[in-house]
Structure 1
Amino acid sequence: MNPFANYGRIVHGDRFIGRETLVNNIENRIIHPDNPGNLVIIGMHRIGKSSLAHKAIIEQKDNLIRKGVLPIWMGVASYDLPSDFFHALVKRCVREMTRLDWLSDAVQNLADYALEIEDSWDEIKDFFIEVKEIGYQMLLILDEFDHARHLFKGNTAFQRLRELADYPDYGFSLVLTSRRSIRDIEQLAGSTSPFHNIFQVQRLGMFNNDDLEIYFSRFSDIGISISDENKKRILFYCGSHPYLLEMLGWEIVEVNHQNQEQKVDVDKTADSILQSIFGHYDDMIRLLREEETLNKLLQILFGPVVDVKPTDVTELENYGLIKQNDNGTYSAYSEHFHDYLKLHERSAEFSEEIWPIWRRTEKALREVITITMSGVYGDDWITELEKGRSNLKKIFDVCREAQQKEEKTFSDRASKNLVDFTYPADLFTIIFARGLWQPYFQPLFGHNPNYWEQRKQLLSKCRNPLAHNRGETLKPHEFKTIEAYCTEILDILSEYVS
């Protein structure tokens, strides 16, 4: 049997992997106390928020019921109107209480009154007060709470949930799962309610090392040997992301069973599901853009760093989207996703995400070099430039390595233009190279190399990614200077700007 069967759904039972500390934290907040607290599980797309809530709470339903606590699971995205949501809540409570033989005539009557009226808030409160009076409490798990920004417009619904979950008269507790913070959800809904203040926050990130050990042991448990090199390649594609690990794990097991192969080829297997992996990446990128986080992520990873605050870095680290490297820079949670972002970072779709004037300048410099040099030397102009110019050959060799890596990873999605892999300092080095500046580029740019050297230094600094231990963040006055330099270059190269 495939231990990763049904990946993508809520994982439960023995299929659930690790998360021991988080499970214990939730149990201490929800399961063990006589009166459960309020809690929110925050994490990015497909990280396992619902599975964690199910594991820590629903799988302990019997223990809760023995204490008179009834857990109710509701998906917020299933509702379009607040009244539908609150009526459904009452109906679910009545159904579960009936099943447990907890329902009294008084509770049933109050439920009937509440369901007869469209805006029946007072009757709903009376319903939960009576439930508490006969000795029971409600624990409501609201999955996909991000949808509340559409469902609950204004203050009213948030304040009503806060009243139920905060006042002891109702015997009511809330557990939420969401991508965003509750404060952000409230703000997007136009609410100023202090609803978010009643929750303990549990942040769910990537698998830790202990979780990864359990994951890899699932292969050996069914007789599939995973070498250290296999593990490195799996982590290359997936990082410690649970959904991607399970997706690739399922495919590895299926290939092994079908072909009865003992040797695992991770790259070949990953290649067969690349479209699914890309689909997940694109979903993440769409959500990050929607949440106005993509811009910050690209700045941190690739530069230029325009308006990143320390809190932005902390937030992305908490989500598990980025990790700090030994040299103080940052990379995405997996090398494959990092390279995917790098590939798309050059695209028109991404070019407007960060400081568009700088992106247009960078593109114009690449265009003027390519058009001018191909006009002089032909299609093989890069080879001609490398002859007798070791500094340019070194630049293009680094570019070739990056291009070959991209081609190996992304095949026909990779850029065929070697100049796409250059950095601003490289572009100026080409422009000022021996035998190129005076005959070809000085007539275009004017001035002398010293004049442009000042611009090269600042523009090159601008393109640096964020580094935790490097004090090279641009100052406010430098942004204005860079924009002036970019405007100057774009004016000069106007015919090369598309």
Structure 2
Amino acid sequence: MQTNNPFASAGTIVNGDLFVGRSVELTEVYNRVLGKNFGNLSIVGIPKIGKSSLMQALYDRRNELYDNNKYVVVWYTFKAIEEYADDEPREIFIDIARKVKKELKRHGYDVSEISYYVNEVSNLEMRFTEFQSTLLDMFEELVYNGIRVILCLDEFDYCKNYLEECHFQLLRELSYRPENKIAIVTASRRSIHDIEKDSGGGSNFFETFKKIYLKPFSIEDIRLQRNLIDGVSENDCILLDKAVGRHPYLNAIILDEFFNTRDMKSSIDKQINSVLTHYDYLFRILKKDKLDDKVVKLYSGFSDTVSQEEEEYIYNRYGIFDNIGDNKYVPFCDTFEQYLSQLYRTNPYNLLWGEN
């Protein structure tokens, strides 16, 4: 009998044997940031869809990548803006430089030269132009010695009100010029273009990125996830499909309950409030992008005030609607449709739209 619950930590980054599926997306990641391409990659998707876990799959290979290819993979997580209240923005770059040095040292690399650069850029009294030049020199030193750096930036959305145009330009320089080139991989709910645009800057950092829009699991991947636990029947899968579709996080929280109850209907009933709370959180995120009412309008069939760009985001990038053919889209599961229906009924626009 299975004794370890593979979904006990549902909602956190998934790695190791618990990371299943995403073979197509992983191939895209490796093709972009490894080998001769060595370019920037942006992983974009709604909350809890698996962005950080996909990036973690690359990070988990850091020992192998260094041993075989002299790739140094480091991870930096952006935090909520208020946590940086007393910090100088360049401290982010200093922290990243220190992480690169630490990782190199872990692999037995002579870091004496790199230590010089890290110490230099750590002087916050240094003019920014000199700071930028010194940081670029550090990475040029690494490239000269055959070292390639892959920088994983998680929660990249949080940088938009903190980094300024000069900082975006510095990131661009770090990942653009061959003599100091690094590869940057970001995980965010919005595209780099939108994040950079909101910062008020004029940098074209976003143009250096290939994008992966992460959606719910494929049919094959959701089977792999559900097979991590014993006793999930075909009928159980039908119930899950109706309740939460192929959303990896929502499946995980119900399967976590199922591990103890072995009753899928009961597990769904017990977790329905958590599912609805997740939808509330999703709509708070959509509201920040002024897309919350657009989603409800598209669902209700009143799309006159929804731009083509907004429709593209909602239908083809977020994965919250399924294309069932003939350019017709439906909510990705029954509970989400019920949630949208409730929003429609309580939305003041209903008075203008009429009954659907």
TM exceeding 0.5: yes
Aligned mate of 2:307, from 290, 306, 309: 309
Tell me, yes or no, if structure 1 residue 170 matches structure 2 residue 180.
yes
TM-score norm. by structure 1 comes to: 0.65
Point out the more displaced range, 100-109 or 322-331. 322-331
Match of 1:491 in 2: none
- Which residue identity is paired with 1:288? L
Aligned mate of 1:252, from 252, 258, 265: 258
Partner SS, residue 304 of structure 2: coil
Tell me, yes or no, if structure 1 residue 60 matches structure 2 residue 74.
no
Match of 2:11 in 1: 8
- Which residue identity is paired with 2:169? Q
Structure with greater helix percent: 1
Q: Distance in 2 between matches of 1:286 and 1:313?
A: 18
Q: Distance in 2 between matches of 1:216 and 1:173?
A: 34
Partner SS, residue 47 of structure 1: coil
Q: Distance in 1 between matches of 2:218 and 2:305?
A: 30
User: Is the Cα contact below 8 Å between 1:136 and 1:171 reproduced in 2?
Assistant: no
How big is each residue's C-alpha offset from its partner over 1:386-418, in whole Å with a ceiling of 9 and x where there is no partner? xxxxxxxxxxxxxxxxxxxxxxxxxxxxxxxxx
Q: Distance in 1 between matches of 2:296 and 2:232?
A: 37
Q: Distance in 2 between matches of 1:345 and 1:43?
A: 24
1:45, distance to aligned residue in structure 2 (A): 0.8
- Which residue identity is paired with 1:65? Y
Q: Distance in 2 between matches of 1:276 and 1:19?
A: 25
- Which residue identity is paired with 1:300? L
User: Is the Cα contact below 8 Å between 2:94 and 2:118 reproduced in 1?
Assistant: no
User: Is the Cα contact below 8 Å between 1:300 and 1:330 reproduced in 2?
Assistant: no
Tell me, yes or no, if structure 1 residue 82 matches structure 2 residue 89.
yes
Match of 1:106 in 2: 113
Change (3 A) 1:35 1:105: farther
User: Is the Cα contact below 8 Å between 1:205 and 1:318 reproduced in 2?
Assistant: yes
Partner SS, residue 228 of structure 2: helix
Percent identity over the alignment? 26
Match of 2:297 in 1: 299
1:38, distance to aligned residue in structure 2 (A): 1.1
Q: Distance in 1 between matches of 2:325 and 2:172?
A: 44
User: Is the Cα contact below 8 Å between 1:216 and 1:226 reproduced in 2?
Assistant: no
Tell me, yes or no, if structure 1 residue 333 matches structure 2 residue 332.
yes
- Gaps of at least 5 residues in structure 1 are 257-263, 363-423, 425-462, 465-498
Match of 1:344 in 2: 343
Kindly indicate whether structure 1 or structure 2 has the higher relative contact order, using CA contacts under 8 Å at least 6 residues apart. Answer: 2
Match of 1:392 in 2: none
Match of 1:42 in 2: 44
Match of 2:200 in 1: 190
Aligned mate of 1:70, from 69, 72, 80: 72
Partner SS, residue 52 of structure 1: helix
Q: Distance in 2 between matches of 1:215 and 1:84?
A: 39
Q: Distance in 1 between matches of 2:302 and 2:309?
A: 18
Change (3 A) 1:132 1:35: farther
Q: For 1:338-417, what aligned pairs fall within 5 Å after superposition? A: 338-347=337-346, 350-351=347-348, 356=349, 359-360=350-351
How big is each residue's C-alpha offset from its partner over 1:213-272, in whole Å with a ceiling of 9 and x where there is no partner? 2123223xx3x14133x222111111110000111111111213xxxxxxx3x3322121
User: Is the Cα contact below 8 Å between 2:226 and 2:232 reproduced in 1?
Assistant: no
**Aligned-residue RMSD, C-alpha:** 2.0
User: Is the Cα contact below 8 Å between 1:320 and 1:333 reproduced in 2?
Assistant: yes
Q: Distance in 2 between matches of 1:46 and 1:90?
A: 29
1:3, distance to aligned residue in structure 2 (A): 2.4
Point out the more displaced range, 202-211 or 324-333. 324-333
Q: Distance in 2 between matches of 1:308 and 1:126?
A: 47
Match of 2:223 in 1: 213
- Which residue identity is paired with 1:208? S
Q: Distance in 2 between matches of 1:204 and 1:35?
A: 21
User: Is the Cα contact below 8 Å between 1:50 and 1:143 reproduced in 2?
Assistant: yes
Q: Distance in 2 between matches of 1:251 and 1:189?
A: 42
Q: Distance in 1 between matches of 2:232 and 2:114?
A: 58
Runs of 4+ in 1 over 6 A off after TM superposition: none
- Kindly name which structure, 1 or 2, has the bigger radius of gyration based on alpha carbons: 1
How big is each residue's C-alpha offset from its partner over 1:20-76, in whole Å with a ceiling of 9 and x where there is no partner? 111111112223x05622111111111000101111x11221232021110000002
The alignment of Structure 1 onto Structure 2 pairs a total of residues equal to 342
Tell me, yes or no, if structure 1 residue 116 matches structure 2 residue 123.
yes
